[in-house]
Amino acid sequence: MSDETSFDVAVLGSGAGGLAAATFAALRGARTVLIERTEFVGGTTALSAGSAWAPNTRLAVGVGAKDSPAKVHQYLENAIGNSSARSMRETFISRVPEAIHTLLDETEVQFRAYPKHPDYLCELEGSTTCGRALETLPFDGAKLGPDLALIRPPIPELTILGGLMVDRTDVGHLLSMRSSLGSLRHVLSLIGKHALDRCRFGRSTRLVMGNALVGRFLLSAKQAGVEIRMNTRVTGIEPGEKTSFLSLEGGETLRITGGII
């Protein structure tokens, strides 16, 4: 078996979970392969708002959030109840700040918190009005070069002018452009860049929401050394105590010495 077909970690699927798992594995020194069966990375994440629910990070402190692990426990108990093990929730609460901070410090994946962004079930005890829902910062897809074409396009409902993606900050400027010179400048800048991007790249390179999260993770994974296999279908998994094997459509077999996610 050649080195080219041996990996420490294999990740199946390229949504936010798969991209995150592959990126973290590679950051910690694992030789990692990410396998995606379609022509696009991102899964449903690319079509979403691209927010992460991550309590008690330093971003929450920056918007004055009054939160604590105990409040998060209370909220999750009321929202989820017995649908998941309490030990899983405890691990999530204790480790998620470290995960977010690692992304902020070591990768292109960047978030922001808003002063007002309530929990989805804001009527439950333990909910907060801000600090837990983190929004992905807009991303310049031109940084990906040819890999920009790998990102699943957003749904038309989240775009204007034939593909220009807008987030809630942009929507505020769009609504105020007739009464605010600053908002008018913002909107004209978006439209001008969109027109240039269409000429140069065939699509807008300004990615927001789910597309921004996928684009940032894709660039981070590539920078960390993740090998990405597109249009690749797994046909079989042979688990082993120390080594597992993945059979791929076309007859190739990958030797996995660590884990399959």
Helix 16-27 to helix 209-224 angle (10° resolution) is 30
Helix 16-27 to helix 86-106 angle (10° resolution) is 70
pLDDT at 143: 95
Indicate the SS3 state at residue 247.
strand
The answer to whether residue 1 scores a pLDDT higher than 70 is no
**For residues 6-35, average pLDDT:** 97
Q: Phi/psi at 69 (nearest 5 deg)?
A: -55, -35
Which segment, 80-89, 94-103, 155-164, is predicted with the most confidence on average? 94-103
H or E segment to which residue 134 belongs? strand 133-136
pLDDT at 4: 52
Q: Who wins on pLDDT, 194 or 22?
A: 22
Confirm if 212 and 137 have CB atoms less than 8 A apart: yes
The answer to whether residue 190 scores a pLDDT higher than 80 is yes
**For residues 128-141, average pLDDT:** 95
pLDDT at 5: 87
Q: Within a 10 A sphere around the Cβ of 247, how many other Cβ atoms?
A: 15
Going by the DSSP 8-state scheme, the letter that residue 204 receives in this structure is -
The Cα diameter of the chain in Å comes to 67
The answer to whether residue 101 scores a pLDDT higher than 50 is yes
pLDDT at 3: 45
> Which residues, including other chains, have CB under 8 Å from residue 185's CB and lie 6 or more apart?
none
- Mark out the alpha helices in the chain (DSSP H runs): 16-27, 58-62, 69-80, 86-106, 168-176, 181-201, 209-224
pLDDT at 241: 84
pLDDT at 163: 80
**For residues 46-75, average pLDDT:** 94
Q: Quick one: tokens of 85?
A: 């093990």
The answer to whether residue 170 scores a pLDDT higher than 80 is yes
Going by the DSSP 8-state scheme, the letter that residue 67 receives in this structure is -
C-alpha to C-alpha distance for 255 and 260, rounded to whole angstroms = 11
**What is the chain's mean pLDDT, rounded?**
92
Confirm if 210 and 50 have CB atoms less than 8 A apart: yes
- Strand 6-12 and strand 253-260: pairing? parallel
> In what order do the strands lie in the sheet containing 234-238?
227-229, 32-35, 6-12, 253-260, 244-248, 234-238
Strand partners, 10: 33, 260
Report the predicted TM-score, pTM, of the whole model to 2 decimal places: 0.89
Q: What angle do CA 131, 132, 137 make, to 5 degrees?
A: 80
- Could you report how far apart the first and last alpha carbons of the chain are, in Å? 22
Query: pLDDT band at residue 2, thresholds of 50, 70 and 90?
Result: very low
C-alpha to C-alpha distance for 143 and 220, rounded to whole angstroms = 11
Q: Phi/psi at 202 (nearest 5 deg)?
A: 85, -5
**For residues 68-96, average pLDDT:** 93
